[in-house]
Amino acid sequence: MVAEKGTEPLTLQELLELKIDASNFMDNVAVAKAIKLQIGEFKPEIGIICGSGLTPIGEQLEKAIIVPYSQIPGFPRAEVPGHTAALAFGELEGKKIMCMLGRFHPYEYNMDLTLCSMPVRIMHLLGVQTLIVSNAAGAINRNFEFGDLMLIKDQIFLPGLAGYSPIVKLKDPHFGNCFVSMHSAYDKSLRTLAKKVAKDIDLKLHEGIYVMSGGPQYESPAEVMLYKTVGADALGMSTCHEVTVARQCGIRVVGFSLITNIGNLDADNAAEVTHDEVLDVAKFAANHATKFVRQLVKELDDYTVPPLLDKKTKERMPMYVHEF
Ligand SMILES: O=P(O)(O)O[C@@H]1C[C@H](O)[C@@H](CO)O1
Ligand SMILES: Nc1nc2[nH]cnc2c(=O)[nH]1
């Protein structure tokens, strides 16, 4: 892939015609450049990923610039119902936001986690320092009810444990160390802030552990029991690969799950879950999730991703697209 022809930068049309390899650093730079051509000088500081049915979170951005995935080289189309295939750039409470209105689930793309986490790398290249990630999830914890929010304290990344990591193919040091520490992946000070915000706006907010399975099938009662036994509180099919990549890049993370269904633990009970039900619950709960995110954004402090140093020269590596 060549991002430049001689000294001339490629046009958007030329960038759109490139065949992008999500595991190649310069291809990621080309993707970021194509977005830059459409957002001009806008430099996002906070990234938001909207879970199933949670696009109203992104729809509240002011002065929004919408970039459809069809205008981003290498981006798939995000076809799961409840996900809009576009990035939204705009302001919320005076902060500059880049919002994914629709994410890429590994089960949609042949378990290609490098591809599915590419948007987080692009966020990083565009300057995002803090990520707010959300998802729709089934409850394992019996104290949870439909429509509740659960702040994610930690994650169990089942595909990651099984060798499907978003980092195995992409080891370029520009994206950080491949031996990523997943301790405090969900930033403790941000969790403290989220709990304070929830209290201030009178919102019930649980805290717990999110487990990601590969999907797209929902879990059998025995599988829900397995996850309960290992200490998980909510289960879904996303998020963990994105958070792993965010941490690799040094982005700090806060995340929450919207409880859309209650995981069934009883094999004799035919309580089924459907994606329509997930979207219905998300629809009625999106209001309070939206309010929560707005207040959280308002109270977020400034943060700067620690610079990555070249291992040999100890010099700061170029990171953001505006530096290229
Ligand atoms: O994007 P999220 O994780 O919110 O989507 C969840 C997991 C599946 O894609 C789908 C199942 O209903 O919703
Ligand atoms: N894996 C999984 N993902 C979900 N997303 C929303 N509900 C569920 C669920 O029960 N299981």
221 cis-preceded (ω within 30 degrees of 0): no
Pocket of ligand 1 (CB under 6 A): 51-52, 80, 103, 105, 135-136, 215, 236-238, 275, 278
Instruction: State the closest ligand 1 atom to the C-alpha of 218, by its place in the atom list counted from 1.
Output: 11
Q: Which residues pair with 207 in a beta bridge?
A: 151
Question: For residue 156, what are its two tokens?
Answer: 């169990």
Compute, in angstroms, the gap from residue 299 CA to the centroid of ligand 2: 30
> Binding site membership: which residues?
52, 83, 103-105, 136, 219, 238, 261
Q: How confident is the model at residue 270 (pLDDT cuts 50, 70, 90)?
A: confident
Q: ipTM above 0.85?
A: yes
Q: How far is the CA of 134 from the centre of ligand 1 (A)?
A: 10
**pLDDT tens digit sequence for 18-76:** 999 999 999 999 999 999 999 999 999 999 999 999 999 999 999 999 999 999 999 99
Look at residue 221 and give its three-state secondary structure.
helix
pLDDT at 202 over 70: yes
β-bridge pairing 130-139 and 46-49: parallel
Three-class SS state of 229:
helix
Domains of the chain (ranges, CATH numbers)? 4-323 (3.40.50.1580)
Compute the mean pLDDT over every residue in the chain, rounded to the nearest whole number: 92
Phi first, then psi: give them for residue 230, nearest 5 degrees. Answer: -90, 5
Give strand ranges (E) for 225-273.
234-236, 252-262
Instruction: Please name the residue whose Cα sits nearest to atom 12 of ligand 1.
Output: 275
Atom from ligand 2 closest to the CA of residue 273: 10
pTM: 0.94
Q: How many CA atoms lie within 13 A of 258 on its CB side?
A: 30
